Amino acid sequence: MRRGLNRTDKLAARQTRRRNVRFRHALVWLLIGAVLYAIALAIAVLLYPDPKDVLAPVIGTSLYLTPLFGLPYLFASIRQRGWAQRLVYFGAALPVAHVAANYLAWRHAMLSFPLEPDPQAYLRDLGTGAVGGLAGGTLALMLLVPLRLAPLGAGSRAIILLGIAALTLLGAMGMAQGLLLTNALEYPLRSARFLFWLECVHLPWQACLAFFLAWLMRLGRRPGA
């Protein structure tokens, strides 16, 4: 009887663990989502009739594909706690964060765009990417809290601040290095150069975001907290 009870307890404990968010499980599926997003972005950009439309500051190719980033994880975690909150986060909150970050980066670029060749172009591009990375990282990580996907204790605040710093740095480097390697904004505009630039901006940034999302969601949030 005791042995059977132990087996039942072990099975219940195993099922409980499966229902909780696990770091490795979340990270793997979010990284798969980042790759899925990159593939979809490549197809969309290469098929887009006008490369200039890809840069639309509010609605553009890179923006309306944002829910693909979380789609594999949503399917993989359908039996885990907080699935409805994750659906809202990846389906609505994260796209809004992406739109806001894209718009702020675009606005910064327009305000600082030189009328003549600028030897400080690399620094300007770093600033543009940092604005987008800071805005996107802050919104993407902080929106976990009101959706009850992450706590707001001392430990999670430190993780959020570290994540924002890392995402700001990656946003700056992805933007500046991508433009340096591709000259994507030089005429004539070409879809292939746009594609490589956008992948430089998005893929490393989303991989880093996946790490911090998995870390924070693993911490969970106590009911009623």
Three-state SS string across 101-141, please? HHHHHHHHHHHCCCCCCCCCHHHHHHHHHHHHHHHHHHHHH
* Spatial separation of the C-alpha atoms in residues 222 and 35, rounded to whole Å: 32
3-state secondary structure of 35: helix
Q: What is the pLDDT of residues 22-79, one digit of tens each?
A: 899 999 999 999 999 999 988 888 887 666 666 666 667 778 899 999 999 999 999 8
Q: What is the pLDDT of residues 72-131, one digit of tens each?
A: 999 999 988 889 999 999 999 999 999 999 999 988 888 876 655 566 778 888 999 999
Q: Which helix (H) or strand (E) holds 161?
A: helix 154-182
11-15, 57-61, 133-137: lowest mean pLDDT where? 11-15
* Spatial separation of the C-alpha atoms in residues 149 and 26, rounded to whole Å: 13
As a whole number, mean pLDDT of residues 157-166 equals: 97
Q: What is the pTM of this model?
A: 0.85
Amino acid occupying residue 179: L
